């Protein structure tokens, strides 16, 4: 494949953004291309911020619920053992209930003969583990921290210029630069987007009772509260919270002191883990749904949150991004083996055709959930509660649902 000629920095692929999605993309491409007859793909990975560091004594307030399908991608990237050795919290059951009624659904991994339903993993653990593997791969050059000051996309290829004057060019550029993607904006990709009018308060809490490795979510008319179980060497007294609230309510909660916040959170969680004893530093993240109408143009593809960002209520965001990675890696592999130009629109459109329907369906489902649980007339609330209770009793449908959510 293209060689990195001195001074020219010519690559096969440039990945911009080494968050969870971009780092996994670079890692998988570099590893899967090691045996290519034409030689491994040469990859540049450009990241604006220094790599976050895993702190064994402190939980990262940003976590993700990782499905089995995503875990298998991390195995293929050669990083799962490193992630598990640092800290990954398997959850064995999930409980979802309606704050305004008796509707409740429970899922358990034993019902579908699996050791867990998924893992709660801190974002910093994932990114640091991927970056450790990337440092071992000699067909990836990492530019970090680096600021991109110019982009060119023409017949010869796509190129970027870094602030220190370094030029990089490639046949294909993958934008994994997150929800506010500068690349998406620079190249005028149209988006459909709207504000949820919600902010998510995230933090780590210490609770009176052990979390029993159960992920809990309570739906309130003002937004869902998720209590994601953390496991620190057998200590189950911690949870990561994602408390989505209408903006004015979120601002009020952010203004409370620790004791007041813990008291309100204990109440909002219906004391399902007893009292909330402590809360770490809180962060409020505005939530916005965004979907690029196209993910690709000649020599350029958007992946992960740069293409789609959704409400965190079902913990699907990065799992959808990892699914983008798997599909795009397959399409790139197919193109290399057929001797095609990796940046050709026909190659990239195959990726878009395969990923758009699933991403759109997930976004529609999240919007539906959000509206279903927002304040509703009594009749809708009754139906909602009956529906949840009914579903909870039909094991076959419930087990199919959970397998679907796990990507099995």
Residues that bind ligand FAD in the complex, under the rule CB under 6 A: 16-22, 46-49, 64-65, 148, 176-179, 182, 200, 202, 242, 285, 304-305, 312, 315-319, 321
- Token pair belonging to 232: 């620190």
In whole angstroms, the minimum distance from the beta carbon of 338 to ligand FAD comes to 28
Give the residues across from 120 on adjacent strands: 65, 89
In whole angstroms, the minimum distance from the beta carbon of 282 to ligand FAD comes to 12
DSSP, res 305: G
How far apart are alpha carbons 291 and 398 in whole angstroms?
A: 29
Exposure string of 333-348, with b = 16+ CB inside 10 Å and e = fewer, is bebbeeeeebbeeebb
Exposure string of 22-51, with b = 16+ CB inside 10 Å and e = fewer, is bbbbbbbbbbbbeeeeeebbbbbbbbbeeb
Nearer to ligand FAD, 14 or 273 (CB): 14
In whole angstroms, the minimum distance from the beta carbon of 176 to ligand FAD comes to 5
In whole angstroms, the minimum distance from the beta carbon of 223 to ligand FAD comes to 12
Residues 222, 201 contacting (CB under 8 angstroms): no
In whole angstroms, the minimum distance from the beta carbon of 292 to ligand FAD comes to 12
The helix (run of H) or strand (run of E) holding residue 268 is helix 258-268
Nearer to ligand FAD, 279 or 336 (CB): 279
Nearer to ligand FAD, 140 or 336 (CB): 140
How far apart are alpha carbons 198 and 244 in whole angstroms?
A: 6
Nearer to ligand FAD, 64 or 332 (CB): 64
How far apart are alpha carbons 182 and 126 in whole angstroms?
A: 23
Q: Does the bond joining 115 to the residue before it have cis omega, within 30 degrees of 0?
A: no
Q: Which of 222, 408, 242 is closest to 314 using CA atoms?
A: 242
In whole angstroms, the minimum distance from the beta carbon of 403 to ligand FAD comes to 17
In whole angstroms, the minimum distance from the beta carbon of 131 to ligand FAD comes to 10
Torsion of CA 9, 12, 17, 20, to 10 degrees: -140
In whole angstroms, the minimum distance from the beta carbon of 308 to ligand FAD comes to 8
Nearer to ligand FAD, 178 or 343 (CB): 178
The CA–CA distances, whole Å, from 151 to 113, 148, 186 equal 50, 8, 8
Nearer to ligand FAD, 182 or 382 (CB): 182
Nearer to ligand FAD, 23 or 236 (CB): 23
Residue number of the CB atom closest to ligand FAD: 19
In whole angstroms, the minimum distance from the beta carbon of 379 to ligand FAD comes to 32
Nearer to ligand FAD, 300 or 336 (CB): 300
Nearer to ligand FAD, 313 or 342 (CB): 313
Which residue has 């009624």 as its token pair? 101
Residues with Cβ < 8 Å from 241, sequence gap 6 or more? 201, 202, 203, 204, 205, 225, 226, 227, 228, 265, 279
């Amino acid at each position: 494949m293209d060689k990195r000629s001195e001074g020219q920095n010519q690559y096969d692929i440039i990945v911009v953004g080494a968050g969870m999605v971009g780092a996994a993309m670079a890692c998988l491409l570099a590893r899967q291309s090691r045996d290519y007859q034409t030689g491994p793909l040469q990859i540049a990975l450009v990241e604006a911020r220094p790599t976050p560091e895993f702190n064994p004594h402190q939980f990262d307030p940003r976590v993700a619920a990782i499905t089995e399908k995503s875990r298998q991608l991390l195995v293929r990237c050669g990083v799962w053992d490193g992630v598990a050795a640092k800290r990954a919290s398997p959850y064995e059951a999930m409980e979802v209930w309606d704050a305004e009624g008796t509707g409740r659904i429970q899922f358990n991994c034993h019902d579908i003969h699996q050791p867990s339903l998924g893992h709660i993993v801190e974002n910093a653990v994932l990114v640091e583990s991927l970056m450790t593997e990337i440092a071992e791969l000699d067909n990836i050059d990492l530019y970090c921290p680096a600021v991109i000051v110019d982009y060119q996309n023409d017949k010869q290829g796509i190129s970027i210029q870094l602030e220190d004057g370094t030029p990089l060019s490639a046949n294909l550029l993958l934008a994994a630069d997150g929800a506010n993607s500068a690349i998406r904006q620079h190249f005028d990709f149209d988006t459909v987007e709207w504000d949820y009018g919600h902010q998510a308060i995230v933090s780590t809490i210490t609770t009176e009772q052990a979390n029993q490795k159960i992920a809990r979510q309570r739906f309130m008319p003002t937004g869902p509260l998720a209590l994601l179980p953390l496991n620190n060497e057998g200590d189950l007294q911690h949870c990561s919270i994602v408390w989505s609230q209408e903006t004015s309510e979120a601002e009020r909660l952010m203004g409370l002191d620790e004791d007041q916040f813990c008291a309100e959170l204990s109440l909002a969680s219906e004391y399902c883990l007893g009292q909330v004893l402590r809360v770490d530093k809180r962060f409020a993240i505005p939530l916005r749904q965004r979907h690029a109408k196209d993910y690709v143009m000649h020599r350029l593809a958007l992946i992960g949150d740069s293409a789609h960002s959704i409400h965190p209520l079902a913990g699907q965001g990065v799992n959808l991004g990892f699914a983008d990675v798997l599909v795009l890696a397959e399409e790139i592999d197919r193109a290399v083996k057929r001797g095609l130009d990796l940046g050709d629109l026909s190659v990239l459109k195959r990726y878009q055709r395969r990923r758009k329907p699933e991403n759109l369906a997930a976004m529609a489902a999240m919007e539906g959930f959000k509206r279903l649980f927002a304040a509703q007339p009594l009749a809708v609330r009754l139906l909602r509660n009956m529906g949840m209770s009914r579903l909870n009793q039909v094991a076959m449908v419930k087990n199919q649902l959970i397998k679907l959510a796990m990507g099995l």
